């Protein structure tokens, strides 16, 4: 069973963990104890104002966003005992985001994930991207949407962010306008809708790169989490994590997550070459839903706190990344160091290297067309 939660009590800080405990008899909202101050984000970058936006609902959760990279900064939720924690990785202030190399919470693009040798062609014209992941391009390089100041406005529990990229910015053709709308609903769903248009034929593949630990950011490993991904196949990769172009059935492999599986059970099965290449899970799952309609894609559960996250999307793929390259060099919001496999990312997307893979769904965006990406993050508590 699962339940939606409403807690409106007071908070006290639990030492060493970025969380707070409800205290009956006090009417203060415990979420407030974990909200970051906007003053840490109040600065000018590239001549534009940075802001921190806060969404709170009657269902008992809060989300904070910044227009730097159109990023999710915090997601604050209670557990089965009414203890609140921030369950997504991030920084206390803008300084962390300006030097971030993990893409914490941001929207990545114009093309999320990897492109082989950073090279693709449209109608016989070759385009070279920054090669920032060995020989490959990852998340469009250092001049990507994730490092831009977006124009933002808030209305109620919804924030709209817009970024307009100039033709050939980051190596991509077309003046591309991207709009991202984050909405927190009373049902504890964070809805993200991204649209994009271009005045030239281009390639587009956008996603949010939030990292989650449902025990609370900075609390340690996610190996005890249970994950389910509704997919019958993955797109296997070579040693540089570029897809081979074929589809590999998940049955009888560590990638069979069609029913809930504890992450530790398959992540280190080094007899599987794909696990070796990814240093764990860092692969694209081919979702059962491939109609372009919104449908459940994945479910993540923490067996201790009983928090769950249900992710629905209209995208054909989902990159599950188990934090294999988190290396202990980043200090997060709780003052704790983010270490190896302390969080995971679930990124709805088109498939990696799609511009170079004729068997994959097309990522071409024509002038006059509108690209649309929908992701819904539903939070709750299992009983």
Q: What is the mean pLDDT of residues 31-44?
A: 95
Q: Give the catalytic positions in this structure.
A: 209, 347
How far apart CA 256 and CA 249 sit, in angstroms, is 8
How far apart CA 192 and CA 71 sit, in angstroms, is 11
Domains, the chain, ranges and CATH? 2-382 (2.70.98.10)
Decide: 343 and 211 in contact? Cβ < 8 Å. yes
Q: What's the confidence (pLDDT) of residue 44?
A: 97
Q: What is the mean pLDDT of residues 233-250?
A: 98
How far apart CA 108 and CA 120 sit, in angstroms, is 18
**For the whole model, what pTM was predicted?**
0.93
What are the tens digits of pLDDT across the range 114-143?
999 999 999 999 999 999 999 999 999 999
Q: What is the mean pLDDT of residues 341-353?
A: 98
Which of 14-18, 38-42, 71-75, 297-301 comes out lowest in average pLDDT?
Answer: 14-18
DSSP 257-283: -SS-EEGGGTTT-TTSHHHHHHTS-EE
Which of 12-16, 155-159, 165-169, 197-201 comes out lowest in average pLDDT?
Answer: 12-16
Q: What's the confidence (pLDDT) of residue 181?
A: 98
How far apart CA 132 and CA 140 sit, in angstroms, is 8
């Amino acid at each position: 069973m699962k339940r939606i939660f409403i807690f409106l009590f007071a908070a006290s800080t639990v030492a060493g963990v970025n969380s707070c405990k409800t205290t009956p008899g006090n009417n203060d909202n415990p979420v407030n104890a974990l909200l970051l101050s906007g003053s840490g984000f109040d600065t000018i970058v590239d001549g534009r104002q940075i802001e921190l936006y806060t969404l709170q609902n009657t269902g008992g959760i809060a989300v904070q966003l910044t227009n730097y990279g159109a990023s999710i900064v915090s997601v604050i939720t209670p557990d089965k005992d009414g203890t609140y924690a921030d369950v997504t990785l991030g920084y206390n202030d803008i300084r962390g985001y300006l030097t971030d190399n993990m893409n914490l919470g941001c929207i990545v693009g114009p093309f999320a994930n990897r492109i082989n040798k950073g090279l693709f062609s449209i109608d016989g014209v070759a385009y070279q991207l920054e090669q920032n992941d060995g020989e490959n391009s990852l998340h469009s390089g250092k001049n990507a949407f994730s490092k831009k100041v977006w124009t933002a406005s808030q209305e109620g529990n919804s924030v709209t962010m817009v970024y307009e990229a100039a033709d050939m910015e980051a190596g991509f053709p077309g003046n591309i306008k991207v709009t991202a709308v984050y909405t927190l609903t009373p049902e504890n769903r964070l809805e993200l809708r991204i649209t994009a248009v271009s005045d030239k034929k281009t390639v587009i593949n956008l996603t949010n790169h939030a990292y989650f630990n449902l025990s609370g950011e900075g609390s340690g490993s996610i190996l005890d989490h249970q994950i389910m991904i509704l997919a019958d196949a993955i797109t296997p990769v070579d040693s540089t994590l570029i897809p081979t172009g074929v589809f590999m059935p998940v049955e009888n492999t560590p990638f069979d997550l069609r029913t809930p599986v504890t992450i530790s059970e398959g992540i280190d099965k080094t007899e599987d070459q794909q696990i070796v290449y990814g240093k764990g899970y860092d692969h694209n799952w081919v979702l059962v839903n491939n109609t372009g309609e919104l449908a459940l894609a994945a479910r993540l559960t923490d067996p201790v706190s009983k928090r769950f996250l249900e992710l629905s999307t209209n995208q054909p793929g989902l990159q599950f990344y188990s934090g294999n390259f988190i290396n202990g060099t980043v200090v997060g919001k709780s003052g704790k160091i983010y270490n190896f496999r302390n969080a995971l990312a679930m990124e709805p997307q088109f498939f990696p290297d799609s511009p170079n893979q004729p068997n994959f769904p097309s990522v071409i965006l024509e002038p006059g067309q509108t690209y649309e990406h929908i992701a819904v993050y539903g939070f709750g508590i299992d009983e």
